[in-house]
Amino acid sequence: MPVATPKQYEAMLDAAQKGGYAYPAVNVTSIVTINAALKAFADAKTDGIIQVSTGGGQFASGLNVADAAFGAIVLAEATHLLAEKYHVLVALHTDHCHPAKVDGFLRPLIEASRKRIAEGKGPLFQSHMFDGSVVDLKENLTISKELLKECAELNIILEVEAGCVGGEEDGHDTSGLPAEKLYTSPEDMLEVYEALQPIGRFLFAATFGNVHGAYKPGSVKLTPTILRDGQKAVTDKHGAEAEMDLVFHGGSGSELADIRETLDYGVVKMNIDTDTQYAFTRPVVTHICENIEGVLKIDGEVGNKKAYDPRGYLKKAEKNMADRLIEASKDLRSDGQTIFGTV
């Protein structure tokens, strides 16, 4: 099955909202990590979201090019081809993009989708994230409305954020912000809904203390009820059908109880990067340590080609990353929920 059409992606989100589950959204940087994500989705019989950050795109474009948008296009086109071999639905998404990077990252990708649609194909990405949390809400929404209009014309969904996800990940650093910035208010959620709903469909990354990165248990204080209260402010005024599709950022390392609670409040997508990075790297380290004399040419020896062939340890990395994503799908209750073949 090729990557989900816009209609299928909307059906995915509707099914998650109605069914009380969420999709794992995994950041990728290479063919190997794309394959890990696809393997996990297929093995868990879950639909899922593959996403590219600006840093991931820059990495994928190669050291001599270092072009985030170009690398994102390469990864997306590869996913379109690879996904045809699987029987689950997969959507493509781009992660955090600050206002300063809109013209160099988001707009080239929107233009790439426009070109594909003109050729009779679907959009390259099914959704994009604009992260305006670094500016005040008024400016954030001004830019968000402009971008959502561009996206809606191409049947692309825009994800926005009000409030900030703490910590640092892949060049996205908000570690110096005051604690109150990590929590979105009900008033903010209502303002976001009323500004964007008339334009087109959007995803909303409301913040409730979430933090990027890995921390020891108890270090991160999540308050999922913020999502409940914000949704209530919206639905009390605009009706039950106004419940928003929410996104949980900083999902790696979160307590299962907190993850499950957010599903009750409208979270349909949870971003996972830190945990899958570790899952990918851990078996590589084990392979190197267990085969050190074969991996390295020590004291004039020739080593062991089978030990230092990257395919050997990257297969282990792919499988372990896939296993971690299967675990995430179970945590999010999306396993076994694929709507492939029904829309």
Which of the residues are catalytic?
95
Tokens 């299928």, residue? 8
Residue type, 140: N
Grouping H, G, I as helix, E, B as strand and the rest as coil, residue 168 is strand
For residue 250, give the nearest of 322, 175, 300, 146 by alpha carbon. 175
Query: Across the chain, which distance is largest between two alpha carbons, in Å?
Result: 75
Distance from chain centroid for Cα 298: 42
Q: Which residues pair with 52 in a beta bridge?
A: 94
Phi, psi (rounded to 5 degrees) for 40: -60, -45
CB 8 within 8 A of CB 89: yes
> Which string of DSSP letters, residue by residue, matches 257-323?
HHHHHHHTTTEEEEEE-HHHHHHHHHHHHHHHHHTHHHHS--TT----HHHH-HHHHHHHHHHHHHH
The answer for 163, left when phi > 0, alpha when psi is -120 to 50, beta otherwise, is left
Tokens 């409730």, residue? 208
CA distance 289 to 282: 11
